[in-house]
Amino acid sequence: MKIKGTVKHHKISGGFWGISDEKGKNWRPLVMPEKLQKDGLLVEIEAEKAPETISIFMWGTSIKILQFSIIDD
């Protein structure tokens, strides 16, 4: 699936990275690529839903990022 949205860093439980898309849906990558770890960054990613995993972060849908690009303003 393709997701276009904004990277957000959340400080809950030690912190984690997420992406909020244009429709307001929240996505939580299992691993956020280092190049995308910038709060407020606009991105477009190709991802797949990750198998449900136990997580202390009760935010968003778990995904695995397959490809990404950074959107310039």
Q: Could you tell me which residues come within 8 angstroms of residue 23 by beta carbon, excluding any fewer than 6 positions away?
A: none
Q: For residue 53, what is the domain's CATH number?
A: 2.40.50.500
Give the per-residue pLDDT at 35. 96
pTM for this entry = 0.87
Q: What is the 3-state secondary structure (H, E, C) of 16-32?
A: EEEEEECCCCEEEECCC
Query: What range defines the domain where residue 55 resides?
Result: 2-70
pLDDT tens figures, 3-52: 999 999 998 778 899 999 999 999 999 999 999 999 999 999 999 998 87
What pLDDT, in 10s, does the model give residues 43-59? 999 999 988 766 666 77
- Number of structural domains (the chain) is 1
Give ∠ CA 46-39-68 in degrees, rounded to 5.
15
pLDDT at 19: 97
Distance CA 12, CA 20 (A): 16
